[in-house]
A = this chain, B = another copy of it.
């Protein structure tokens, strides 16, 4: 694989940090530039991050010395790919500028996720939705393109729903989340407000997870996505964990379920082995049988690519023969963000969109 050049937009947040940590040693990508908001632009990366770096790995020396650029394609180095970890409001303006300038964007921003001609991809589920890029480029006449990943809360859930949806159908789902602090970015949730506490609401999160799941599980037909159709209720809360979103789902299925078979279809949910993508875990879904697993601190880094697998546990019957009760945990800044846009980028490389 010939190395692709890339830039990082939004390099100073939690997802930007994870992108730098992961892309710097990545065998397929070369970081040629980094950009962030006006507040950060002009500073050396290491100076900007002095009080904000939250990872236990050090900033790679070469990146530490880079000067952060403003988010302008005329100033940022040319590159094959732009990894975007921008806030939605800024992404809405900036990402199309970069697509017009020829960059292929692999974005973690929510700005265009639900846009009709923009793919919302989890490679193990709906790689075929990438065909929307052809439509997008034609309609918009862009040399580049925008590809998005789902919200950190959506990804784990959608991955667990997929084999259940395919095998038993889903009629209705009630979900609850216990989300980690890193999901709110930086400065994010004040320590004063989250220590010894649960915050029972995350603005916009419940709407996102519901709409995104339906698009991801949808079918590409002709030139658009026909969304999956089932009812879903969500309560999203913040708890004092650093990384790793814990979620429970009570699922009413269309067909009667046998719990051992539910475990089997989840456990056998296929990875992307044949494609040789460095960020694709061999075991996208891990099933644990212990009553007290998964736990965020113990299971967030699970999998052959640390942080890229989702761990499912307490798979048990619901209140009737057409229902399942389970819980899961996925790493919100890896599988749920930085790892997701990297995996999407890798997929686009082998599918010749980059």
A residues touching B (Cβ–Cβ < 8 Å)?
Answer: 14, 50-56, 172, 174, 176, 178, 181-182, 184, 186-201, 203, 231-233, 235, 237, 239-242, 246, 248, 250, 290-301, 313-314, 318-320, 325, 327
The residue on B at minimum CB distance from A14 is B192
Give the CA-CA distance A174 to B237 in the complex, in Å. Answer: 17
Q: A178-B237, A250-B174 are in contact. Are A297 and B186 (CB under 8 A)?
A: no
Interface centre among A52, A174, A200, A296 (most CB of B within 10 A): A200
Interface centre among A188, A231, A319 (most CB of B within 10 A): A319
Give the CA-CA distance A297 to B320 in the complex, in Å. Answer: 36
Task: Tell me whether B192 and A56 are in contact (CB under 8 A).
Answer: no
Q: A319-B231, A319-B233 are in contact. Are A295 and B189 (CB under 8 A)?
A: no
Shortest Cβ distance from residue A49 to the other chain B in the assembled complex, whole angstroms:
10
Give the CA-CA distance A186 to B193 in the complex, in Å. Answer: 9
Residues of B within 8 A of A293 (CB): 200
Shortest Cβ distance from residue A309 to the other chain B in the assembled complex, whole angstroms:
12
Apart from the given pairs A195-B297, A198-B296, A200-B292, 11 other A-B contacts in the complex at a CB distance below 8 Å: A51-B292, A52-B190, A54-B193, A176-B235, A176-B248, A189-B191, A196-B242, A196-B297, A198-B295, A200-B313, A200-B314
The residue on B at minimum CB distance from A172 is B319
List 6 contacting pairs A-B, 8 Å CB cutoff, sorted by A.
Answer: A54-B192, A178-B239, A191-B193, A196-B196, A196-B242, A197-B241
Residues of B within 8 A of A188 (CB): 190-192
Task: Tell me whether A196 and B195 are in contact (CB under 8 A).
Answer: yes
Task: Tell me whether A250 and B237 are in contact (CB under 8 A).
Answer: no
Query: Which of B56, B192, B291, B319 contacts A242 (CB under 8 A)?
Result: B192
Shortest Cβ distance from residue A310 to the other chain B in the assembled complex, whole angstroms:
14
Query: Which of B237, B240, B318, B325 contacts A191 (CB under 8 A)?
Result: B240
Residues of B within 8 A of A237 (CB): 178, 246
Residues of B within 8 A of A232 (CB): 319
